[in-house]
Structure 1
Amino acid sequence: MNDTAPGVAPAKPKSEGGSGLGRYILVRFLLIIPTVFILVTLVFFLMRVVGDPISASVGGRLTEAQLQERLEDAGYLRPIWVQYFEYVGQTFTGNFGRTVTDNRLISEILLTYGAATLELALYALIVALIIGIPLGMLAAYLRDRWPDAALRIFAILCYATPVFFAGLLLKLTFSVWLGWLPLSGRAGTRVQLALGRIESPTGIYIVDALRTGNPAIIGDVLQHAVLPGLALGLLTAGVFLRLVRTNLIGTLSMDYVEAARSRGVRESRLVRKHAYKPALVPIITIMGLQIALLLGGAILTETTFEWRGLGFQLAQYLGSRDFVAVQGIVALLAVIVAVTNFIVDVVAALVDPRVRY
């Protein structure tokens, strides 16, 4: 029975789109806290399995009395649970501790070397998008033919090849044999000195190079970026290629695409105009996971190409058994990954409303 008065239109239910998006963003933001807490906890206890950081790093160079004094000053003689809660409290205030070998703040290391890792990750992401998306579209367009099979094998090789091995092959081919590109580093010595002289450098060499307006400096920075960006970008390009291919084939079988096909629309136009954008939505969703993959791969890439970023420093501290530095940098990277995933989730919700529910 309808209780609405005659002549009065029934009230429309309020749209839940805006509230759904706000609720989704709030929930995703709040999830950052337990995610970071769990990661920091795992890193702390895994590092403590090998013993206290001071004994592991410089214990062999100190007398027993000096070692005990250092342990007492650093608080490592206290119960493990006291150290844990103190470390968690410091982490959530932005204090990731000091290194044992050179007594530097971990946050200072981030500011000094984080820009280099960010720049490398951006290069790799650009390479992955440029290679993965067009080749994924081509594989979907030529599905079940020999080019499709070849591209799928290429995607598997990209993902399965260790990034350091790909880097060594690229260096051997383009630097040693052909001599086209620099062997290592972020820029030549003269260019680094020139970039250091500019006012308020960002630490991202391509940005600082563009600010100089000097084509020679810009070209040198880009030449040094090609091989590291390609080595790390191919790792993610394989994932994007297969993801775009799978989603594009699924989209091409949708009813609205079949309707357009029945009207005589060419297959190439169907791919470009009707199926391309819907197939890219999963790329945005998975991009947050790929950031973690890129940061992990950056450690090996930076070491292979002597790209002095966070990954390179992490490898150096691992070699010197400075587990305080390792613990702080890994925890810091965990925070970066968690925040990046939050941003990607929000972008995905804005692009595809289905993600919110």
Structure 2
Amino acid sequence: MLKYILKRILMVIPVLLGVTIIIFFITRVLASDPAPVVLGEHATAEAMAAWRADYGLDDPIWMQYVNFLVSAIQGDLGTSYYTHTPVASELAARFPATAELALCAIIVASICGIALGVLAAVKKNKLADNASMVLALIGVSMPVFWSGILLILLFSATLHILPSSGRVTPLLQPTGGTGFFIFDTIAKGDFEALGDVLVHLVLPTVTLSLYSMAIITRMTRSSMLETLNADYIRTARAKGLAKRSVNVKHALRNAMLPVSTVIGLQLGSLLGGALLTETVFAWPGIGKFAVDCVLKSDFPVVQGVVLLVAVIFVFMNLLVDIIYAWLDPRIKYGAKEEG
């Protein structure tokens, strides 16, 4: 196990190095000159030349990349062209919003997806199975921005029961703390603000969880069907065990291995920032921040966001593999054992 973990950690290095090369050359070589965008169309040539010199954009491209890589290894992702603050600080201020939304979405997706998948497997080829698969098909097929707009039209514009944007009402926003509003409001005992935070979370959480819920439902159903046909399940039934006990204690426990992998990977992608969901609901996370910075040609921020997403996704992949091996000791990694 230790040898496998060390091997996977070493494999992370070339992956992240490749990500830095791709995103750097896309933003510095293929993209247009950011100076006119940042300074405005009326800026003089001398002002733009001085601005490029300040940010090192007039250095050879290979030197720019080396400087970027060395600084990134030290935790310095550069400075925003607009706010003139470190990119790491900008991301740290917005990541709690993305993480809070992602965690809520994966919890909803996991609970609903596993429940629907088990129901579909137990009631194979019946109404419950067909209904669950239709819901999963809708979740996979419907674009996130479209489902988000539909939910806003229904619950905000028509029924007026849920807010359409933001994390919290400005007057109730908690100050200081961790940036995770649910935790901060509970820690301070401000339950009015907690209720407001939860209400603002409903629509973006449901929207973001639909796709993941559909994937988890399909995987749970497939894994449960395979497990229910296993010999030990037939033995348990022959011994007279209750149907619920067989389905939950025996079948579901063993069917959760591939499902846990899917949940981990889905969480990794959600933590990377839900660009469309955050944009539709004006959610102040790193996804919406990345979109705004792309439109403004704030390339240091774009590079920082992509690198952060890559680190999160690679780490989640590694964590899922380790958990998978821990849950199932039969899994062997590396060279095959002789004999």
TM range (shorter): over 0.9
Secondary structure of 1:264's counterpart equals coil
Secondary structure of 1:31's counterpart equals helix
Distance 2:42 2:281 in 1: 32
**1:43 and 2:19 aligned:** no
Distance 2:216 2:9 in 1: 26
What residue identity is the alignment partner of 2:43?
L
TM-score (norm 1): 0.88
**1:98-128 superposed Cα distances (whole Å, 9 cap, x missing partner):** 1112222110011111111110111111111
**1:339 and 2:315 aligned:** yes
Aligned residues: 332
Flag structure 1 segments of 5+ consecutive residues without an equivalent.
Answer: 1-20
Aligned counterpart for 1:160 among listed residues 141, 144, 149? 141
Structure (1 or 2) with the larger CA radius of gyration:
1
Instruction: Give matches, 1:184-333, under 5 Å.
Output: 184-192=165-173, 195-196=174-175, 200-295=176-271, 298-333=274-309
**1:227-247 superposed Cα distances (whole Å, 9 cap, x missing partner):** 111110111000000000000
Q: Is the 8 A contact 1:57 1:323 kept in 2?
A: no
* Structure 1 residue 318: Cα displacement: 1.9
What residue identity is the alignment partner of 2:6?
L
What residue identity is the alignment partner of 1:139?
A
Q: Is the 8 A contact 2:278 2:287 kept in 1?
A: yes
**1:136-193 superposed Cα distances (whole Å, 9 cap, x missing partner):** 100111112232122112112112211111111111111222222122111112211x
* Structure 1 residue 215: Cα displacement: 2.5
TM-score (norm 2): 0.92
Aligned counterpart for 1:112 among listed residues 90, 93, 113? 93
Distance 2:306 2:276 in 1: 14
Q: Percent identity?
A: 38
CA root-mean-square deviation: 1.8
Distance 1:176 1:311 in 2: 25
* Structure 1 residue 266: Cα displacement: 4.3
Distance 2:332 2:61 in 1: 41
What residue identity is the alignment partner of 1:226?
V
What does residue 336 of structure 2 align with?
none
* Structure 1 residue 356: Cα displacement: 4.3
What does residue 170 of structure 1 align with?
151
Distance 1:136 1:61 in 2: 59
Cα 1:163–1:295 shift into 2, 3 Å: farther
Aligned counterpart for 1:67 among listed residues 39, 45, 48? 48
Cα 1:331–1:112 shift into 2, 3 Å: same
Cα 1:281–1:61 shift into 2, 3 Å: farther
Q: Is the 8 A contact 1:120 1:298 kept in 2?
A: no
What residue identity is the alignment partner of 1:43?
I
What residue identity is the alignment partner of 1:186?
R
Secondary structure of 1:60's counterpart equals coil
**1:142 and 2:123 aligned:** yes
